[in-house]
Structure 1
C-alpha cells in the first residue's frame, strides 16, 4: 500500500483489503478481473480514500455526502465511467459500533443521479438513508467494492436522525451548493454557502476569534492538562444560510443558532496559501517538535526568521546543503499534509494527530471504535511495534477533536525518530 493510500486510510476511517491478504485462488481471480477490465477499456482505478458526512432531511431520513478519492497509473485522469462502471456501493446499519445486529441495508446505484465528478481524481456520491424503527441513532458501514474482485473499501459513519446539533442539519458547501466541503477550513475570500438539504434561509450568529492556539505538547508529557481557557470574542455578526458568503479576515469562526448554544459549526479561515506554509514566521513554528528549548527560543525570538531558520537547518545538517534541502522538503510536505488532513479548530500541524504524523509519518494501520482511534506503527529499526491512542473529546467547535493518550514510555521510540530528523536520515 503506497504512502497516499495510507494517509487517506487513517483520516477517512477506511479498512483496505490488500493483495497480500488474498489467497492464491483469489489472486488469480483478481488478475483475471484486471485483464478483463483492461480489455474493456477500464484501466486500473484505485480507491485511495473515502470521507463522508450526513445531513438530516427530516426525523425519518438523512442525506449522505460521500467523497471518494481515486487514482490511475501514471496520474491518468479518472473518467466518470471508470468509476461508475468499476465499483458498487452498499451499506448496512447497526445499532452502534459494538453491535453486529443488522437494522437495515441498501444498495446505491452509481449513476447520473447519485454521482458527481469533482475533479480528475475525486467524486461525490449522494444518497438517502431511512431511519430504522425505534432507532434515532445508528452506525452506517458503507462498502465500495471493485466488481469482479475481492477488493473493497469500508467507511463508517454515525447517523443521528433526531438531529440535535446544528451541524447535523447544516454544513459548508462550495458556491454552487452542490458539493459539500469535507474539511474544517477555507481560505480568505473564498465563496461558500452554509445550507441544509431543504435550502432553508435562517439567520445564524457568527463569532470570530483571533486566538493563536498552542501546538501539541510532547507525547511523553503526562502532566495534567491545564484548565481550558476562555476565548475572547473579537467580532459578532449575523449571516443567513443558503446565501453566498466570504470571510475577509483570518481566524476561527463559530456559527450557532443562538449565542448560548453549546455546539455549532466551527471554521478556520486561513491565508490564501494554506494548507501550505510559506511565511518564514510560520515555518519556524512546526520545527518545535524536533528542537531543543534553546533552539525554539532562538527561532521564536528572532527579528529575521528566514535567516535564523536557514541557519537552524544548516546547523543540524552540518552544513550539508543538499541534505538540508531534502530534509526540509520532506518535513514541510508532512506539515502541509497534516494541515490538510487534521485541521479542526486549529491548524492541523498543531493537533496531537498532526504532531505524530509529522514525526512518525503515516501509520501502518488504524483501529477505530466509537470514541477512539489507535494508530499502529509496525516494526522499525528501534522498536517492534508501537501504538498511539487518540481519544475523542467534547469540543464546541468540531466533532472530530481527538487527544493523544500520553506515556513516558514513548521516550525510547520518540527520541530516535527526532534524532533521525535532526541528522537528515528521514526519507519518504
Structure 2
C-alpha cells in the first residue's frame, strides 16, 4: 500500500517541479535538465510498480496455498464423518445382534431356572416325606435308621447343587445384561462425541426429537428404539410406543424377570437393562423429559390372574436436588384401580437401599421390599420389586413387585409398563383414568 502511494506521489512532485522551471526556448540546458528529472521520476515509478506487483503475486500464492489446505481439511472431515457413520451403523448392527442373542439366552436360562426350581420343589417334598418316614421308623425302633439319614444328606447335597446352578445361571444373565448395557452406552457416547465435534466445526447440528411424541408429530409411526434429546441434556436412546393418538416414551418395562431390579441409587439415576427387554430408563433422563412441559404418566399392569389395568396421571418429577420427587394429580372420586400412587402436595422422593428417602421413620422401605421406588409408608406399591417366580399371595413374598388397588388389596403382578407423553396427547381407549 505504501509503495502504491509512493508511485502516485513521485510523478505529482515531478510535474510540480517541472512547472517551476522557465520555459524559455533559447535555454537548452534548462530544458534538458527538466527531461532528466522527469525520466528519473518515471524510473522510480516503474520500480515501485514492479515491487508492488511482486508483493501482490506472493500474497496470491499464500491465499492459494491456504485455500488448498482448507479444501484438504474439508475432504478429511468428510472422510472422517463417513467413517463415523459406518462405525455407528456397525454398532447398531452389533447391538441388534446382541439383543437377539440376549433374548434367546434369556428365554433359555428362564426355562432352565424354572425347571431347576421345579426339581428343588420335588426334592423338598421328597425330603419332607422321607423325614416323616424316618421319624416314624425312629419311633418304632430303639435305634435310628442310618440309611434314612444318608438319603436325607444326599438329598440336601442335591438341593445345594441345584441352588448353586441357579445362582450361576443368574450371574451369567446379569453379565450379559451388563454387556448389552455397555454396548448401548457406547453407542450413545459415540453420538454425543459426534454431536460435540460437529458443533465445534460449526456444521449444522442434527435436530433430535425431544420425546417420542415429537417423533410422532414429525411423521414417525413405527414403535421401536430411537435417539432423542430432551432440553438441557445430551442425546440418549429410548423405547417409543406409537399409537394412533401419539407417541409414548417408555420409562419402565417388566415382563419376564430377565433383569434384576435390585440396584442402588447410582444405577437408578443412570438407568439399566435392555430397551429390547426389561429396563429402567434412569431418573435423570425421566426428569429431563418431564420438565419440558406438562406430561402424563400412564401405568399399565397385568396381575397374576391375567387381568389388565391402566391408570393415567398428570405427573411432575423434580431433579436430583430434590431426590427426583414424584408429584401426581388425581381425582379421588374416579374409582380407578390405581389409588396406591398418592403423592400429596410435597411429593414422594425416590428411595433405594443406600438412599433412605422414604416417609417411613422406623424402616428402610427399599431394603424391606427390594429395588428402588417412590415409597411412602412401604405398603402401597413397588413396581421395581423382585419379579415373582411363582404365583402366591404378596404377604408370603414381601419383596416381590406389587400394586395396591383402591379396595386396599395388594395385587401380585406379572407385567408392568410406565410411559410418558405430553398432556396434549388425546386418547379414546377404554381405560381407567386418574386426574
TM bracket, shorter-chain basis = under 0.3
- Higher relative CO (Cα under 8 Å, sequence separation at least 6) belongs to 1
Q: Which has the larger radius of gyration?
A: 2
**Greater share of strand residues, 1 or 2?**
1
TM-score, structure 2 as length reference: 0.23
Higher helix proportion (structure 1 or 2): 2
